[in-house]
Amino acid sequence: MDLFVNPSGELSIYRQIMRQITEAIAGGRLIAGEKLPSHRDLSEQLVVAPLTVKKAYDELEALGYIETQRGRGTFVCARLPRIDPDDQNDQLRERARQLLSQAYLAGLRLPDVEKMLKDADRELTGGAAARKFNDNGEKVKQ
């Protein structure tokens, strides 16, 4: 997992870490049960304070995305938190409308937006390796 922090970025560093790990899980680059680096190792890798990484891990754990097993390390949760699909769909539809109106105001057309979505998908899922689902609808790594 390649993480990157920008100290002068818009988001605070712990939120940058949280967002990148959540995106990696959403895109299937991190799969259920996969082990994350310890917060100390990650702090040395990113050259940020260990407490900052710990804060990101604690928040992700509270949200149910990762879990710490004592003496073994930190893992992506086997069962990720399910969000009520009806709520989620309404929210996503609203977001889609906002995205399109912003794009149209900027003079873009629907195919441009579709291309942007595909690009974003490639970034999330990590290149051409589109993720696959098994029969139970669970993500599996190729």
Partner 1 sequence: MTSLEFTNISRSYKKGLPVLDGVTFSVAPGEVVGLLGRNGAGKTTLIRIAMGMLFPHYGSVRVFGLSPTDDPVAVKKRVGYVSEDQVFPGRLTIAELIDFHRYLFAQWNDVLERQLLDRFGLHTGSKIKQLSKGEARQVALLCAVCHRPELLILDEPAGGLDPAARREFLETSIQLLNREGTAILFSSHHMTDVERIGGRVVLLDKGKVRLDRDLDVLREETCMAMVPRAWASEPAGVEAIPGCLGVRLVLDEWHAVFNGTPESVHRSLQQSLGASNIRCVSLPLEELFIELVGGDRKEVGAA
Q: Please tell me whether residue 92 binds partner 1 under the rule CB under 8 A.
A: no
Nearer to partner 1, 8 or 69 (CB): 8
Query: Which residues is 67 bridged to in the sheet?
Result: 75
Q: Which of residues 105-134 bind partner 1 (CB under 8 A)?
A: none
Select from 48, 60, 66, 76 the one that contacts partner 1 (CB under 8 A).
48
Choose one: 18-26, 37-45, 61-69, 108-116; the region binding partner 1 (CB under 8 A).
37-45
- C-alpha radius of gyration, the chain, whole number: 17
How many alpha carbons fall within 13 Å on the CB side of residue 122? 7
Q: Please tell me whether residue 62 binds partner 1 under the rule CB under 8 A.
A: no
| Structure tokens given for 34 | 């996969």
Shortest CB 79 distance to partner 1, Å: 29
Shortest CB 49 distance to partner 1, Å: 5
| Interatomic CA distance for residues 57 and 47, integer angstroms | 16
Question: Which residue bears the tokens 């098994």?
Answer: 134
- Asked if residue 66 lies in contact with residue 76, where contact means CB atoms within 8 angstroms, the answer is yes
